[in-house]
């Protein structure tokens, strides 16, 4: 439905070409009033005398130990081959460090759980408290963003 003028003529009614700015002016006046009321509240500040203190140095990030177990049960400590009798000594040496390093344990899908359980028991016996497990992300479907 179009709004036309008040003239009566036989010509088809034409839509009004003038923009009604009254609602725009009303909204703008309401916004001006709101800003006039809230502006003094935003400008108010609270004076505080805060104490000065020297910040302690940032905490040292602990190193991480990458321990990988392949399908045959062979282990690698940060990428280098590790004999079975060296594991306990290295874990105990790592547990004595300050800060204590994090142990990231990654095992092949085909490795028997007894190898993983033996490593976890040795790490617990040595006193390591931060142990994480490494996994692979599943392949993403076509068109899926990660």
CA distance 92 to 100: 11
- Tell me, what's the pLDDT at 145? 60
Residue 140 has pLDDT above 80, yes or no: no
> Is the pLDDT score of 127 beyond 80?
yes
What share of the chain has pLDDT > 70, as a percent? Answer: 84
Q: What is the DSSP string of 92-120?
A: HHHHHSSSPPEEEEEE-TTS-HHHHHHHH
Instruction: Find out whether 100 and 106 touch, Cβ atoms under 8 Å.
Output: no
Cα(19)–Cα(17) distance, integer angstroms: 7
Instruction: Dump pLDDT digits (tens) for 28-43.
Output: 999 999 999 988 877 7
Question: How confident is residue 19, by pLDDT bands cut at 50, 70 and 90?
Answer: confident
- Quickly count: other Cβ atoms within 10 Å of residue 123's Cβ: 23
Residue 144: what pLDDT? Answer: 58
Q: Please provide the average confidence, as pLDDT, over all residues in the chain.
A: 83
Dihedral over Cα of 136, 137, 142, 146: its sign: negative
- pLDDT per position as a tens digit, 61-108: 778 999 999 988 899 999 999 886 899 999 999 999 988 999 999 999
In which residue are the tokens 């923009």 written? 19
- What is the second-level CATH architecture of the domain 64-134? 2-Layer Sandwich (3.30)
pLDDT of the residue at 54: 78
Indicate the pLDDT class of residue 5, thresholds 50, 70 and 90. low
Considering the chain, what percentage of its residues have pLDDT values greater than 90? 42
Domain boundaries, the chain: 64-134
On the question of pLDDT at 48 being above 80, the answer is: no
Q: Tell which residue, 67, 70, 66, 65, has the closest CA to residue 109.
A: 70
């Amino acid at each position: 439905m179009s709004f036309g003028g008040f003239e009566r003529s036989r010509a088809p009614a034409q839509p009004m070409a003038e923009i009604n700015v009254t609602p725009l002016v009303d909204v703008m006046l309401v916004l001006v009033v709101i800003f006039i009321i809230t502006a003094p509240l935003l400008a108010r500040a609270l004076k505080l005398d805060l104490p000065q203190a020297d910040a302690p140095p940032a905490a040292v990030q602990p190193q991480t130990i990458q321990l990988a177990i392949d399908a045959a049960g062979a282990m690698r400590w940060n990428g280098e081959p590790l004999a079975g009798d060296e594991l306990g000594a290295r874990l105990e040496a790592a547990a004595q460090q300050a800060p204590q390093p994090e142990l990231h344990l990654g095992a092949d899908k085909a490795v028997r759980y007894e190898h993983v359980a033996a490593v976890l028991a040795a790490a617990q016996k040595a006193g390591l408290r931060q142990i994480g497990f490494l996994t692979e992300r599943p392949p993403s479907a076509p068109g899926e963003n990660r």
